[in-house]
Chain A
Amino acid sequence: MRTLLVWVAGCWTLAGLSPLALANGWNMPVGVTDLSREIYSLHMTIFWICVAIGVVVFGVMFYSLFRFRRSRGAKADNFHENTTVEVLWTAIPLLILVGMAVPATATLVKMYDASDAELDVMITGQQWRWRYEYLGEDVAFTSNMSTPRAQIRGEEARGEHYLLEVDEPLVLPTNRKVRFLMTADDVIHSWWVPDLAVKQDTIPGFINENWVNIDEPGIYRGQCAELCGMDHGFMPIVVHAMEGEEFDEWLAERKEAAAEEALGVDRDWELDELMERGEAVYGSICASCHQAEGQGAPPAFPSLAGNERLIEDVEWHVQTIVNGVSGTAMPAFRSTLNPVEIAAVATFTRNAWGNDTGDAVQPSEIAEQLAQ
């Protein structure tokens, strides 16, 4: 008898928990796009249908368990078939689901219509960072997680947006339809921002399409949602949505900065200038594999500190950075880093951690090799 009461109490608290699901942080975000609101309402509709069916089903079950206990002298009946009841309890859920299929289809059709967008952004998933390119604006940058590794190891206090902060967020205009072209360089990743209700796998060698039309400015955070290897949990996505005019200003600024960076290629750079710039590039991109002190994690990721071949053969060193190594996790940075960054990180890795070869790789050499 006692077991039954505890049992019933246990299950009813479970059912009771469901209203809690409405509280913020417990449930799916409503989001800031029409689609995300539609998906949220689909989610809550099917949720409440399930709760309703659950209450009825478990109600009948617990009533029978309680009422027809043998210890209460219940005599067993012998009926074991009533197809009309069975037809009913199959037809009703089927009708409910067919009813759900209609709005779901409408939402899905809308989700697949990425036509006449005002802005095209190419999103490329790489092993363990995202690369954004504004098509036609030749503004492109890589977005790396900016949570310091010390916070992950627990040596420092964790910031508010722990693991969900990047050095270069994807900046998008509000109230404009933005079309995403998504692909990957190595393995399958998945670009997901819950507030925008956009989740799309990025598949190497293939292009996927999606779109968003953000209503409110703000910062929306997401993560990679497809297992992609060691740092799958450490390649966040931050979208910074701003008003249309503000976005145009930002874009113009970035174009200018990119042009200026291109100009900077021809002049000769000082060694320490390159070292400082190289250290920043190394920290955000290369450290995740070759580690902060360049010791790497052999055999998967070779060590750079005291690497004879690197020290002796600058040609091979630059080649590896520019063209990567096929079949390994070392990507080609030819199209992701500009000549200044490649020269800077090459110089840094040739002079840091005791490698001090003393030579500075000039951006002009890299640019000339790339433009060859």
Chain B
Amino acid sequence: MAPKLPPQPPLEHSSAATAGGAAAHHAPPRGMLRWLLTTNHKEIGSLYLIFSLIMFFIGGIFALVVRAELFQPGLQLVNPEFFNQMTTMHGLIMVFAAVMPAFTGLANWMIPLQIGAPDMALPRLNNFSFWLLPVAFLLLLSTLLMPGGGPNFGWTFYAPLSTTFAPPSTTFFILSLHIAGISSILGAINIVATILNMRAPGMRMMDMPLFVWTWLITAFLLIAVMPVLAGVITMMLMDINFGTSFFNAAGGGDPVLFQHLFWFFGHPEVYIMILPAFGIVSAIIPTFARKPLFGYASMVYATASIALLSFLVWAHHMFVVGLPLVAELFFMYTTMLIAVPTGVKVFNWITTLFRGSITFEPPMLFALAFVVLFTIGGFSGLMLAIAPADFQYHDTYFVVAHFHYVLVPGAVFAIMAGVYYWLPKWTGHYPNVRLSQWHFWLSVIGVNLTFFPMHFSGLAGMPRRIPDYALQFADFNLVSSLGAFMFGASQLVFVAVVILCVRGGEKAPAKAWEGAEDLEWSVPSPAPLHTFETPPTFSPHVH
């Protein structure tokens, strides 16, 4: 998740080598300034990943406060007001500060290497969009210390709880989301410009690896959807401070309008968080099964159609808000129609395994765990699509279990698999296998211990976002809390693996994994700061 590129060894070696022939090349600035002013996609990628890991731990601590309170019935640890702040901040930090920047970091690192480009299209913009993030999320975290407390209205910040009845720090919450939104938008523009214009000669759109394809679609989704989020929070700002009533029934507004606008952004957002994961897993499984990805064309086409279909399903988050019957049916049908072509992509990975020659290095372990556990999340998603049944599932822990299964063993495991897969390329060393396996098994057991009982507490009737619960939910929550602490602790093992891997470990050749075929493996490991100065000749091979 966070390869700390050692400041010294690989850079000196690479810049010295490449600078040999060039004219007087001014040495890069030293120390902190170098990271502040870097326009190199590898350094910015590492910055994104380090930032994302730190935020992953902060969001994780908020989650552990929530789980510690829910360990037993009764209020032992926090008052309900602070508990709501913890659930809200956990959601916001994990979605906007941990998962999205992690994928952006992997994109910054790997897209130029996979398409044979020397760097991103707009390097200075790349630096700017990274350094917006620490600003945005320091501001967001500082709202916890403001009078009236931080945001306590859930990461979905429904009006009027988030407008008329919100704490005074809400304006800062809106400012921080604006800044984070701008950072994602600039990142997306950068990625689209790079992929469309800077591929190595000979590499046509159709020869691009799937990770690049999924990120191209994700970038288009980001460009289409982030402005809608910016619009919604601007309307919120005007409702709170300038006396408009977009979402205030008193002035002719409508709180349900907020939910429509938010989820019109919200659902493509969850696809933004899972498509890059599809890309990563589609790179890893063929490598370790030593067999080309099954149905590459179908994967590309299905991902492309998701970019359009994901805009038709948003109101399945609002089945109980009082939609008219026709709208309820419409969104039930569209949700079913889109769930199938997306879900069956899992079968492509499994068929890639069929009659392959499989080995179980750490990246493969995480990719396989992704396939199994993400599919379980997908099945609970199918159950939630049945609108009448959703009247019983909505806003209970069954929904919490669903989206955690698609996000934690889904997006987060895919990010970890990506990091394990590309660490040899970044650092020149293999990650320590023994420790990686410890990390894997602790995480898998921790994730299941935490989120599987939530299916049952949700079905049995436990609503979401409550700081205390009736006695019949006690055992499920006990197990969930234990699992949460176990999963949290096992991420420390991950940090150890990464640090050790950066420092040393078994040397990795350029082609670190026997089955790897993409362009990034033609560059030496550790990847020098400047690669593909002269565009590589690319010969398309069959997908």
In their complex, do chains A and B touch, with some C-beta pair under 8 Å? yes
- Kindly specify which of B17-25, B219-227, B440-448, B489-497 makes contact with the partner chain: B440-448
Chain B residues lying within 8 Å of A194, measured Cβ to Cβ, are 392, 461
- List the B residue with the shortest CB-CB distance to A43: B389
The answer to whether A26 and B445 touch (CB under 8 A), given A199-B320, A201-B321, is: no
Determine if A80 and B296 form an interchain contact, defined as CB atoms under 8 angstroms apart.
yes
- List the B residue with the shortest CB-CB distance to A90: B344
Cβ distance B402 to chain A, nearest Cβ, rounded Å: 12
**Interface check A200, CB cutoff 8 A:** yes
Determine if B392 and A39 form an interchain contact, defined as CB atoms under 8 angstroms apart.
yes
Alpha-carbon separation in the docked complex, A69 to B359 (Å):
6
Q: Among residues 71 to 125 in chain A, which have CB atoms less than 8 Å away from a CB atom of chain B?
A: 71, 74-83, 85-86, 89-90, 93-94, 97-98, 100-101, 104-105, 107-109, 111-112
Cβ distance B169 to chain A, nearest Cβ, rounded Å: 13
Determine if A188 and B255 form an interchain contact, defined as CB atoms under 8 angstroms apart.
yes
Alpha-carbon separation in the docked complex, A74 to B358 (Å):
8
The answer to whether A38 and B356 touch (CB under 8 A), given A93-B340, A154-B74, is: no
Determine if B165 and A42 form an interchain contact, defined as CB atoms under 8 angstroms apart.
no
- Kindly specify which of B32-40, B146-154, B266-274 makes contact with the partner chain: B146-154
Determine if B358 and A190 form an interchain contact, defined as CB atoms under 8 angstroms apart.
no
Cβ distance A129 to chain B, nearest Cβ, rounded Å: 15
The answer to whether A70 and B290 touch (CB under 8 A), given A153-B74, A162-B470, A190-B395, is: yes
- Kindly specify which of A225-233, A257-265, A275-283 makes contact with the partner chain: A225-233
Determine if B336 and A97 form an interchain contact, defined as CB atoms under 8 angstroms apart.
yes
Determine if B468 and A192 form an interchain contact, defined as CB atoms under 8 angstroms apart.
no
Alpha-carbon separation in the docked complex, A121 to B320 (Å):
19
Cβ distance A13 to chain B, nearest Cβ, rounded Å: 9
The answer to whether A104 and B387 touch (CB under 8 A), given A89-B344, A227-B84, A227-B153, is: yes
User: How many chain-A residues does the 8 Å CB contact rule pick out?
Assistant: 108
Determine if B290 and A3 form an interchain contact, defined as CB atoms under 8 angstroms apart.
no
Give the bracket for the number of chain B residues in contact with chain A: 35 or more
Alpha-carbon separation in the docked complex, A77 to B351 (Å):
11
**Interface check A311, CB cutoff 8 A:** no
- Kindly specify which of A59-67, A248-256, A362-370 makes contact with the partner chain: A59-67
Chain A residues lying within 8 Å of B290, measured Cβ to Cβ, are 70, 76
Alpha-carbon separation in the docked complex, A186 to B352 (Å):
54
- List the B residue with the shortest CB-CB distance to A94: B340
Q: Among residues 356 to 398 in chain B, which have CB atoms less than 8 Å away from a CB atom of chain A?
A: 356-360, 365, 368, 371-372, 375-376, 379-380, 382-383, 385-389, 391-392, 394-396
Cβ distance B360 to chain A, nearest Cβ, rounded Å: 6
Determine if A79 and B75 form an interchain contact, defined as CB atoms under 8 angstroms apart.
no
Determine if B441 and A6 form an interchain contact, defined as CB atoms under 8 angstroms apart.
yes
Cβ distance A21 to chain B, nearest Cβ, rounded Å: 7
Chain B residues lying within 8 Å of A229, measured Cβ to Cβ, are 84, 152, 161, 165
Q: Among residues 419 to 477 in chain B, which have CB atoms less than 8 Å away from a CB atom of chain A?
A: 437, 441, 444-445, 448, 452, 455-456, 459-461, 463-472
Determine if A200 and B392 form an interchain contact, defined as CB atoms under 8 angstroms apart.
no
Chain B residues lying within 8 Å of A232, measured Cβ to Cβ, are 80, 84, 465-466
Chain A residues lying within 8 Å of B536, measured Cβ to Cβ, are none
Determine if A158 and B358 form an interchain contact, defined as CB atoms under 8 angstroms apart.
no
- Kindly specify which of A170-178, A203-211, A335-343, A350-358 makes contact with the partner chain: A203-211
Chain B residues lying within 8 Å of A205, measured Cβ to Cβ, are 249-250, 254-255
Alpha-carbon separation in the docked complex, A208 to B444 (Å):
43
Q: Select which of A25, A93, A100, A299 is within 8 A of B472 by beta carbon.
A: A25
Determine if A161 and B470 form an interchain contact, defined as CB atoms under 8 angstroms apart.
yes
Alpha-carbon separation in the docked complex, A206 to B324 (Å):
14
The answer to whether A10 and B471 touch (CB under 8 A), given A21-B456, A42-B389, is: no
- List the A residue with the shortest CB-CB distance to B352: A80
Determine if B158 and A233 form an interchain contact, defined as CB atoms under 8 angstroms apart.
no
Q: Among residues 124 to 169 in chain A, which have CB atoms less than 8 Å away from a CB atom of chain B?
A: 127, 151-154, 158, 160-164
Determine if B161 and A228 form an interchain contact, defined as CB atoms under 8 angstroms apart.
yes
Chain A residues lying within 8 Å of B452, measured Cβ to Cβ, are 14, 17
The answer to whether A26 and B470 touch (CB under 8 A), given A154-B76, A204-B255, is: no
- Kindly specify which of A47-55, A239-247, A266-274, A314-322 makes contact with the partner chain: A47-55
Determine if A188 and B161 form an interchain contact, defined as CB atoms under 8 angstroms apart.
yes
Produce 1/0 per residue, B331-360, CB < 8 A to A.
011001101110110111011111111111
The answer to whether A107 and B388 touch (CB under 8 A), given A46-B382, A90-B341, is: yes
Determine if A192 and B463 form an interchain contact, defined as CB atoms under 8 angstroms apart.
yes
Determine if B160 and A43 form an interchain contact, defined as CB atoms under 8 angstroms apart.
no
Chain B residues lying within 8 Å of A226, measured Cβ to Cβ, are 158, 395
Determine if B158 and A188 form an interchain contact, defined as CB atoms under 8 angstroms apart.
yes
Chain B residues lying within 8 Å of A86, measured Cβ to Cβ, are 295, 298, 344, 347-348
Alpha-carbon separation in the docked complex, A370 to B365 (Å):
71
**Interface check A329, CB cutoff 8 A:** yes
Chain B residues lying within 8 Å of A108, measured Cβ to Cβ, are 325, 328-329, 332, 387-388
Determine if B84 and A230 form an interchain contact, defined as CB atoms under 8 angstroms apart.
yes
The answer to whether A227 and B383 touch (CB under 8 A), given A26-B456, A154-B76, is: no
Determine if A61 and B371 form an interchain contact, defined as CB atoms under 8 angstroms apart.
yes
Cβ distance A334 to chain B, nearest Cβ, rounded Å: 17
- List the A residue with the shortest CB-CB distance to B298: A86
Determine if B250 and A76 form an interchain contact, defined as CB atoms under 8 angstroms apart.
no
Alpha-carbon separation in the docked complex, A86 to B297 (Å):
11
**Interface check B81, CB cutoff 8 A:** yes
The answer to whether A4 and B360 touch (CB under 8 A), given A61-B372, A197-B392, is: yes
Q: List 9 A-B contacts (CB under 8 A).
A: A28-B459, A61-B368, A70-B358, A161-B470, A187-B160, A199-B392, A223-B463, A226-B158, A229-B161
* 13 extra A-B contacts, CB within 8 A, seeds A104-B386, A205-B255, A232-B465: A28-B392, A65-B353, A68-B354, A68-B358, A70-B357, A74-B356, A81-B294, A152-B468, A187-B160, A199-B395, A204-B160, A206-B255, A233-B465
Instruction: State the B residues within 8 Å of A (CB).
Output: 73-76, 79-81, 84, 147-148, 152-154, 158, 160-161, 164-165, 249-250, 254-256, 289-298, 320-322, 325, 328-329, 332-333, 336-337, 339-341, 343-344, 346-348, 350-360, 365, 368, 371-372, 375-376, 379-380, 382-383, 385-389, 391-392, 394-396, 437, 441, 444-445, 448, 452, 455-456, 459-461, 463-472, 542-543
Shortest beta-carbon contacts, A-B, top 8: A205-B249, A233-B466, A50-B379, A80-B292, A208-B322, A77-B355, A76-B357, A76-B290
